[in-house]
Chains A and B, each alone.
Chain A
Amino acid sequence: NAGVTQTPKFQVLKTGQSMTLQCAQDMNHEYMSWYRQDPGMGLRLIHYSVGAGITDQGEVPNGYNVSRSTTEDFPLRLLSAAPSQTSVYFCASRETGSGQPQHFGDGTRLSIL
């Protein structure tokens, strides 16, 4: 059971480039989320999904797009990378039901030059 798998683990981009961060889970979880973690800021919610075909914005959605065509996958797209998007990105998923914790992937460390 792989849990939540994020790829790539590291990436360096130039300003203006686009890319997709991949997130896949094999636990059949309906709920999936993307967070970014910056030093001294904790984690901030970017987008989330409560099931295939349903997504919504979190606290810091600008500059990012998501889609959820399957239960397993929840990719995060950077449309035109900016240095302010340099961060560690975490994907998480959880089971339906009260009080279920979110399970986090290992993160993608993204640097934008």
Chain B
Amino acid sequence: ELKVEQNPLFLSMQEGKNYTIYCNYSTTSDRLYWYRQDPGKSLESLFVLLSNGAVKQEGRLMASLDTKARLSTLHITAAVHDLSATYFCAAREGGADGLTFGKGTHLIIQP
């Protein structure tokens, strides 16, 4: 059974700082997803990572995947208040559909 763990679950940081959210998964997964959710809203797709060593960047966010370590990271560079949200990683077990989500990282960026 695929399990996905994120840490930290809660993070308060100041604008301008860098930080990394970690996502570990327990069994082989053929793809890794990152989503953002604002309070009371739906989920917005950020990144899809398909292969070992994959790195994707959008603005101040960069995601990477290490399939051998079963680890994905979401790195935030020079954080700004608008990035405050809950970030979820999710993995898909090979051959199945539907995603297994982590519990989410609630990120607050203070001005």
> Interface of A with B (CB < 8 Å)?
31, 33, 35, 40-45, 48, 50, 56, 58-59, 90, 98-107
Contact = CB atoms under 8 A, between A and B. Distances in A.
A58 to B, nearest CB: 5
Interface of B: 4, 31, 33, 41-45, 48, 50, 88, 90, 97-104
18 contacts: A33-B97, A42-B101, A42-B102, A42-B104, A43-B88, A43-B101, A45-B99, A45-B100, A48-B97, A59-B100, A98-B31, A98-B50, A102-B45, A102-B99, A104-B43, A105-B42, A106-B41, A107-B42
Given A33-B97, A99-B48, A99-B50, A41 B103 contact: yes
B88 A42 contact: yes
